């Protein structure tokens, strides 16, 4: 059995920011983008600095390649209802952050986002999605192109090369038992399983197997890694427990209320009313548990439970919690 390697998200937090390990990221990005990528620098911006809460289950890294493009790689475990919107916000922020006042629009940096998600995002069957911007004729159905002078001026061929490019890797949709269709699948296999097989051939993936081996970590780093993973498991367990407990109690209460009402005013209406009250109770108990035990903020709770933020805030205020 293959030895488990360091998770990619922790490697981003601690190891891959080191210039000596840029070649691992270069291999990952080269296979994804189908061109040789050379990372020039890792940029520390407000969007990717570590927070005080080190056990955060969202990590990212911002790199700049040899062509000046900005590449934002993000790993996300916790479910976020508005994740697509956040990709848009992060992209817009990068564009404005890295253009100097007074510079022409032609100096805007190319932005590429790579989102590695470990939860169900959207509806689709594939495990790798690419998003680009094209202008297609409403009537003629043709694609608007750059003029020869624009191509010469900006050193580009197509309009979509100007706009941000987005990649979404849905690890849960990847079948690790399938035959690898392309070399990048080997990287996705690693992202999902934490393993790299001896016969893998993707660019620099052998280096990743060597350097991301848990046994190669210093004792202090190994301890930090285990703490991070334990905190991550604990947070996810709290979310699952809150949902399960809330559902169980809500259903129990709902059935009880439903039976009482059913005897008095008719089983159908009673059950319906009782279930409504039970579900409401489940939601409230889950909100309080996630806030008190997991230390989650109101916005994160709303995203996880798919509730309106105002409802979450009201429930917390009813408990005497100041938001």
Q: Which residues contact 2 (CB under 8 A, 6 or more apart)?
A: 195, 196, 197
pLDDT confidence bin for 55, thresholds 50/70/90: very low
* Average pLDDT across the chain, whole number: 80
pLDDT score of 84: 92
Taking Cα atoms as reference points, which of 48, 39, 133, 146 lies closest to residue 97? 48
Greater pLDDT, 309 or 59: 309
pLDDT tens profile 196-244: 999 999 999 999 998 888 777 777 777 777 777 666 665 666 555 655 5
Strands (E) in 53-146, as ranges, are: 58-65, 70-76, 111-117, 128-131
User: Mean per-residue pLDDT for 107-113?
Assistant: 91
**Phi, psi angle pair for 210, to nearest 5°:** -75, -45
**Residue 57 pLDDT exceeds 60:** no
**Residue 166 pLDDT exceeds 60:** yes
**Residue 54 pLDDT exceeds 50:** no
| Run of H or E including 88 | helix 83-97
**Residue 30 pLDDT exceeds 70:** yes
**Residue 51 pLDDT exceeds 50:** no
pLDDT tens profile 1-26: 444 778 887 888 778 888 888 999 99
């Amino acid at each position: 059995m293959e030895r488990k390697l360091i998770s990619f998200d922790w490697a981003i937090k601690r190891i891959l920011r080191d210039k000596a390990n840029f070649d691992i990221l270069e291999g990952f990005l080269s296979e994804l983008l189908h061109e040789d990528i050379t990372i020039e620098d890792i940029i520390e911006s407000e969007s990717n600095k570590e927070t005080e809460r080190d056990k955060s289950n969202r990590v990212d890294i911002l790199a700049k390649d040899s062509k000046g493009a900005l590449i934002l790689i993000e790993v996300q475990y916790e479910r976020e209802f508005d994740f697509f919107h956040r990709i848009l916000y992060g992209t817009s922020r990068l564009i404005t952050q890295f253009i100097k006042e007074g510079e022409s629009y032609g100096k805007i940096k190319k932005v590429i986002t790579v989102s590695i998600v470990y939860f169900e995002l959207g509806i689709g069957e594939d495990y790798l999605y690419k998003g680009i911007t094209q202008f297609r004729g409403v009537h003629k159905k043709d694609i608007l192109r750059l003029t020869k002078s624009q191509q010469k001026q900006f050193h580009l061929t197509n309009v979509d090369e100007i706009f941000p490019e987005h990649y979404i890797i849905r690890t849960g949709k990847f079948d690790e038992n399938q035959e690898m269709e392309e070399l990048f699948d080997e990287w996705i296999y690693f992202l999902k399983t934490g393993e790299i097989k001896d016969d893998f051939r993707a660019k620099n993936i052998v280096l990743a197997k060597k350097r991301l081996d848990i046994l190669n970590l210093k004792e202090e780093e190994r301890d930090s890694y285990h703490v991070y993973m334990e905190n991550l498991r604990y947070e996810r367990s709290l979310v699952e427990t809150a949902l399960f407990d809330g559902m169980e109690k809500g259903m129990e209460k709902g059935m009880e209320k439903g039976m009482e009402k059913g005897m008095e005013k008719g089983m159908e209406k009673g059950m319906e009313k009782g279930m409504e009250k039970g579900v409401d109770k489940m939601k409230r108990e889950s909100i309080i548990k996630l806030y008190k035990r997991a230390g989650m903020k109101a916005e994160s709770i709303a995203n996880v439970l798919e509730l309106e933020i105002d409802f979450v805030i009201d429930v917390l205020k009813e408990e005497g919690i100041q938001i």
